[in-house]
Structure 1
Amino acid sequence: MIHNVNENWVKVYTTGDAFAAEVLKQGLTEAGIPAVTINKQLAAYNFGEVNVLVNQADFDKAIEYMVQNEIE
Structure 2
Amino acid sequence: MSENWVKVYTTSNAFAAEVLKQGLTEAGIPAVTINKQLSAYNIGEINVLVSKLDFNKAIEYIVENEIE
TM-score (norm 2): 0.98
* 3-state SS, counterpart of residue 66 of structure 2: coil
1:33 corresponds to 2:29 = yes
Note the aligned Cα RMSD (angstroms).
0.5
Letter in 1 for 2:25: T
* Gap runs ≥5 in structure 1: none
* Gap runs ≥5 in structure 2: none
1:54 corresponds to 2:25 = no
Question: Hey, what's the Cα distance between the residues in 2 that align with 1:30 and 1:41?
Answer: 26
Q: Which residue of 2 aligns with 1:22?
A: 18
Task: Find the partner of 2:3 among 4, 7, 28.
Answer: 7
Task: Output one character per residue of 1:27-58: Cα deviation in whole Å (capped at 9) or x when no partner.
Answer: 00000000000000001101100000000000
Identity of aligned residues (%): 81
* 3-state SS, counterpart of residue 51 of structure 1: strand
Question: Hey, what's the Cα distance between the residues in 2 that align with 1:50 and 1:68?
Answer: 21
